[in-house]
Amino acid sequence: MNKFNLNKFLEKNNLSEDDKLFLLSIINDIYSHPEFQKRLDSKNYPHHSSISLGEHILNDAIVAYKIAKNKNYSYSNLKLIILIAMFHDLYEFPWQNSKIIKNKFQNLHGFTHPIEAAINAVTWFPEYFQNLEETKIIIDGIIHHMYPFPVRSLKNGFKETEINNLNKVNFLPSNIKQIIINSSCQNTFFKLSFSKSNSLEGKIVSKADRIVSLKEENLNFNSYKACITGKNPDLND
């Protein structure tokens, strides 16, 4: 059983009661999903160093919300920011010390995980992808969250990208598949897209992700090295 306590986690982050309730009203359904719960286990899903992927995602949602909340944004802006953060790293398998071999450099986890996250978000949470304009903003935010680090371009389709959830692509609505492809083809060089998110919401999540990631790596050399090599000797294999 997962022992993670969301209420205590939010309390630790110095949020007012109103902020806590606001965040909970948006994140709770996603947080409760079995695929999200699975990713709160730091043994099975260590993301940065030994911090779980789920905790990283929650940290990102909180920091993105804190950046945005005093800026006079509408409810819709704030909701989209929090949703992008909750979906941005929902990739398929743990990446540190992974046994999965990628044949092409451009298909390494760092370049392809935003695409996996977008596919999983649409597959597991279709209710958030009913409005076309919101869908474009959310997907573009997920796809380009790593900026200035590039993302794999889907110019030639999904097949050659060695993503770990290719089996789900055929079940995506065709217009959403096209939105993912279009977003990944902005500012392409070689097989990578060097583009910021087009939206204010996406840019804020990307900024929050950089802040949170640096903090979580905690200036740990092996942890930084793992971002390039994928191998982290500090974690038990």
Interface contacts to Fe ion, rule CB under 5 A: 89, 209
Phi, psi at 51, each rounded to 5°: -75, 135
Smallest distance from the beta carbon of 146 to Fe ion, in angstroms? 5
Smallest distance from the beta carbon of 44 to Fe ion, in angstroms? 17
Question: CB-based contacts of 220: which residues, under 8 Å, 6+ apart?
Answer: 49, 234
Cβ closer to Fe ion: 33 or 210?
Answer: 210
Q: Which runs of consecutive H residues, i.e. helices, occur in 88-171?
A: 109-124, 132-143, 166-169
Which among 123, 121, 95 has a CA at the least distance from the CA of 108? 95
Cβ closer to Fe ion: 105 or 174?
Answer: 105
142: tokens are 């997920």
Smallest distance from the beta carbon of 149 to Fe ion, in angstroms? 8
Cβ closer to Fe ion: 18 or 202?
Answer: 202
Cβ closer to Fe ion: 55 or 78?
Answer: 55
* R_g (Cα) of the chain, nearest Å: 17
Cβ closer to Fe ion: 31 or 130?
Answer: 31
Smallest distance from the beta carbon of 130 to Fe ion, in angstroms? 25
Cβ closer to Fe ion: 54 or 135?
Answer: 54
Smallest distance from the beta carbon of 174 to Fe ion, in angstroms? 26
Smallest distance from the beta carbon of 117 to Fe ion, in angstroms? 7
Q: Say if residues 52 and 201 touch (Cβ distance below 8 Å).
A: no
Block residue for tokens 């451009």: 106
Round to whole Å and give the CA distance between 5 and 208.
22
43 CA to centre of own chain: 19
